[in-house]
Amino acid sequence: MPEGPSIIILKEELQPFVGKKITAAGGTSKNVDYKAITGSRVLDFRSWGKHFLICLPDRTLRIHLLMFGKYSINDDTRPAQPRLRLEFGKKFINFYSCAVNTILEPLDEVYDWSADVMNPAWSARSALKKLRANPHMLVCDALLDQQIFSGVGNIIKNEVLYRIRVNPKNKVGSLPAPKLRAMTKEAVHYSFQFLDWKKAFSLKKHWLAHTKKICSRDGHAIIKEYLGKTNRRTFFCPTCQVLYR
């Protein structure tokens, strides 16, 4: 479900609820004061990477869909109990198996919007600065670092590295400067392609590395290894994705 582009789609699907008043709220999350938010109007839906933000006058509800989170709109056919349910008269939204939190601070104090690859405030310069400050970090970890590339997930990581022909085992500091810039640029570019393809239900069709077995560039085998500090599965072509020294 997640990765930044999917959250953008969620935000777009919920646009009809902007400005609407919550007439009832419930769910299994213990991090929400359901009574307090009943009667509040939704000022806006925002997002920061994989965080989906429901902005109310006096607080923000933060939804993180994690690996298996789901949502449904005006549809109660799911068997599971929603973690969070917001009703707007006869219409409603349900969120399932996600992490829900309440934020009381102003969002600008909580989030660095320039780190979100899909936000207009995204700053490549700022990302490069953070990367240069972490030369020891593996590039496969760097792309998954939400403080640097908020919204990038494992699929985007694999596709970005394949597209710029960079081996995931490189350290940030060993990449030539143009490659580091290319990585930063492609993280944004591919995220928007992901968005378009996901909307067209053709995301998987465009995967070049993720879950693939053969490199479409040179016909060599794509390797699967569990890499980085979080041991995420990483697909890459050791032949065309360069390992710098």
C-alpha to C-alpha distance for 104 and 9, rounded to whole angstroms:
25
Q: What is the 3-state secondary structure (H, E, C) of the chain?
A: CCCHHHHHHHHHHCHHHCCCECCEEECCCCCCCHHHHCCCECCEEEEECCEEEEECCCCEEEEECCCCCEEEECCCCCCCCCCEEEEECCEEEEEECCEEEEECCCHHHHCCHHHECCCCCCCHHHHHHHHHCCCCCEHHHHHHCCCCCECCCHHHHHHHHHHCCECCCCEHHHCCHHHHHHHHHHHHHHHHHHHHHHHCCCCHHHCCCCCCCECCCCCCECEEEEECCCCEEEEECCCCCECCC
Q: What does the binding site for DNA look like in residue numbers (CB under 7 A)?
A: 1-3, 6, 49-50, 64, 66-68, 70, 78, 80, 96-97, 99, 144, 146, 153-155, 210-211, 229-230, 232-233
Cβ proximity to DNA, 84 vs 155, nearer residue: 155
- 74 vs 89, which CB is nearer to DNA? 74
Nearer to DNA, 144 or 161 (CB): 144
Of 89 and 135, the one with the shorter C-beta distance to DNA is: 135
Least Å distance, CB 197 to DNA, is 12
Least CB distance to DNA at residue 119 (A): 15
Taking the complex as a whole, the smallest distance from the CB of residue 170 to DNA amounts, in Å, to 19
- Which C-beta is closer to DNA: that of 40 or that of 142? 142
Smallest gap from Cβ 229 to DNA, in A, equals 6
Q: How far is the CB of 81 from DNA (least distance, A)?
A: 7
